[in-house]
Amino acid sequence: CAPEVSGPCCGNGWCDGAETGANCPADCPEDDASLVLTDLGRSQNSWETRADYTWRPTRGMSGRKLLRCFSVNATESGALAVLGTEWTPQTAPSFCVVYHVERCTYCVPEHATMKSVASHYLLNMDWLRVYNTNPSILNPDVLLSEPNKIFIGPNYVVQPGDSLLEIAAFAKTTLKAILEHNPDITEANTLRAGQEVCLLLCSSAPVRV
């Protein structure tokens, strides 16, 4: 970061702004991304090669707009590889996408359960809070399947005059939890009417083990 920069920037020690593990590995963890070849170019398809690119947001990315850039090159075996995900003085990625990560959602990893999701995302074992937020899941003991997403809480729409402390009080959560699950909001921000805030309801209450 330049000395005069006060907002999000690569090198400030926080994975914020549009940063990901690809465009700012100094601040962000390694990306969970993959590129899978689905159709190899040949005469029947006018030599058009297709592939599916997937990227899974991680904890702390909720509500953010993130920039993903990459280049693709064929390997000797004919497979495709993601290359050039970082800018250098000599090279730059040839394709960029902006992802808008939804608030209060979690991409379910393989073999996940309610308890494992609660342990990873809520940092406790109170899986009932996750279960109560997802009425479409009928059996909490069944393994969740990919690539489904689940909700970790409701999105509250800010009303005129609301403050973070007042929202935390009526939702029975904490200011720390609100800031943690809404990385684009800081204590210094002025909330605006109509803005969405992800809430982990009753997270300030004693944890059920």
pLDDT of res. 167: 93
Q: What is the mean pLDDT of the chain?
A: 76
**Which helix (H) or strand (E) covers residue 183, if one does?**
none
Distance (Å) of CA 27 to CA 42, 89, 156: 42, 20, 29
pLDDT of res. 73: 66
pLDDT digits (tens, 9 = 90+) for 141-156: 776 766 577 888 889 9
The model's pTM: 0.66
Distance CA 126, CA 209 (A): 6
Q: Give the pLDDT band (50/70/90) at residue 11.
A: confident
SS (H, E, C) 55-85: EECCCCCCCCEEEEEEEEEECCCCCEEEECC
Whether 17 has a pLDDT exceeding 80, the answer reads: no
Distance CA 26, CA 108 (A): 26
Q: Give the pLDDT band (50/70/90) at residue 168.
A: very high
Closest CA relative to residue 55, chosen from 76, 28, 27, 78: 28
pLDDT digits (tens, 9 = 90+) for 26-46: 888 777 777 777 887 778 888
Whether 100 has a pLDDT exceeding 80, the answer reads: yes
Alpha carbon 85 to chain centroid, angstroms: 19
